[in-house]
Amino acid sequence: MARPSWDDEMRMAAISTLDSLHWVKGPQGKAFGAEFAAYCQAVQGTPCQSGSVALWGALRLLDIGPGDEVLVPSLTYIATATCVSLVGATPVFVDVEPDHWCVDLASVEAARTPNTRAVIGVHLFGQMCDDALVAWCADHGIAYIEDAAQAHGAVAASGIPAGGVGDVACFSFFPSKNLAVGGEGGMMMTRRSDLAARMDALVNHGRDARLESHELGSNLRMSEVTAAIGRVQLKRLDDWLVRRRGIAARYEQAFSPLSGIRPPLVRPNTEHAWHQYCVLADDPEGLRQALDAQGIDSRVYYATPCHRQQVYASHPQHHQTLPVTDAIAHRLVAIPLFHEMTDGEVQRVIEAMTVALSS
């Protein structure tokens, strides 16, 4: 499904950082945060240990806790919801759009209560959420958190990249992502200067420059070695995105005539980052078995929506129907798409899909 990028420049960045003996709280992390923030048109980026940590940190920055509600799509990775629970707030699950699979604005409006403090908009699979969500949050005085874990390099219809749209944005650098750091890693991003200083402090036990703790934090820092690798990868990201978009275009051309699936739709005037290429399949299990027989990997994202998982068995929405989510969650089949794919590998996937859907 993915093959991480690794080359001599990344290797030397890691070795040079190790040789410097400055392994934590050094220049690499600061530079990586600043460079990625500039890329995202944000005020500041703060590297941290993972995308899940970034989500927890975003809620802490916005002072969200017990008694507060946060609206989250149920069609997403579980960390989008559990970060809310971890700060003592309540996740309120909402539906997604039938065409683009991101948070549905009508569902968000229907779920809003006086206790709603934030919305977490997931740029699912690299697809940007509707820009109307930004205006809706502003109109209602509700914070907008971007879960951009899958959206490095995506661009909204407004022309603003993922990471520069919400009050706080959260990225993951897991090895399968568009941009990785040689292991686990994440980043918090903000367009608000009033949150910038607190963001840096939060990942360092809530301490200021005099090492005095002003708020509850922890050691959430990214190592200097992983930050150094991330800086090299960031220089390559735009070229990698060109490759991903080119593969997606080949898939679209090849799969559109086929019956039994619906290729993914791209929101008008946006730039998709293509972390995953998911087709909506009429027979997802049959498609996966046919691909497996031809040596092609695939996954279903996300077969069990968040609100139906056992961790939320006691949640009041555990048995609630979210019509679009329930209709498509088990039918979204991801096939290989990553920037390291060769033309031959792309053709293999196309031929396997054609055979699978013609049988």
Beta bridge partners of 90: 69
Query: Which residues, given as ranges, of the chain have pLDDT below 70?
Result: 359
Residue 283 corresponds to which tokens in the numbers above?
């027979």
75, burial (CB in 10 Å: exposed 0-12, middle 13-18, buried 19+): buried
- Cβ 120 vs Cβ 151: under 8 Å: no
- pLDDT at residue number 257: 96
- Rounded CA-CA distance 208/241 in Å is 38
- Rounded CA-CA distance 234/255 in Å is 31
What class does CATH assign to 8-233?
alpha beta
Query: Same fold for the domain at 8-233 and the one at 238-358?
Result: no
In tens, the pLDDT along 189-246 reads 999 999 998 999 899 887 777 778 788 778 899 999 999 999 999 999 999 999 999 9
In tens, the pLDDT along 31-56 reads 999 999 999 999 999 999 999 999 99
* Segments making up each domain of the chain, as ranges: 8-233, 238-358
- pLDDT at residue number 204: 87
Half-sphere exposure of 321 (CA within 13 A, CB side): 2
Half-sphere exposure of 173 (CA within 13 A, CB side): 31
How is the beta sheet containing 299-300 ordered, strand by strand? 261-262, 277-281, 332-335, 299-300
Architecture of domain 238-358: Alpha-Beta Complex (3.90)
Beta bridge partners of 190: 44, 168
25, burial (CB in 10 Å: exposed 0-12, middle 13-18, buried 19+): middle
Q: State pTM to two decimals.
A: 0.96
CA dihedral 187, 188, 190, 193 (to 10 degrees): -110
- pLDDT at residue number 218: 84
- pLDDT at residue number 128: 98
- pLDDT at residue number 207: 77
> Could you tell me where the DSSP H helices lie in the chain?
8-20, 27-40, 51-61, 79-86, 105-111, 132-140, 193-202, 224-255, 284-293, 323-328, 343-358
Q: Tell me the pairing of strands 168-172 and 143-147.
A: parallel
Residue 260 neighbours by CB distance under 10 Å: 17
Please provide the DSSP assignment of 175-230 as one string. Answer: TTSSS--SSS-EEEEES-HHHHHHHHHHTBTTB-TTS-B-S---B-PPPHHHHHHH
Beta bridge partners of 169: 146, 189
Instruction: Taking the CA atoms of 2, 55, 263 and 358 in sequence, report the sign of the dihedral they define.
Output: positive
Q: Which residues, 6+ apart, have CB-to-CB distance to 148 below 8 Å?
A: 123, 154, 162, 163, 169, 170, 171, 189
- Rounded CA-CA distance 174/222 in Å is 13
- Rounded CA-CA distance 271/156 in Å is 7
Half-sphere exposure of 121 (CA within 13 A, CB side): 36
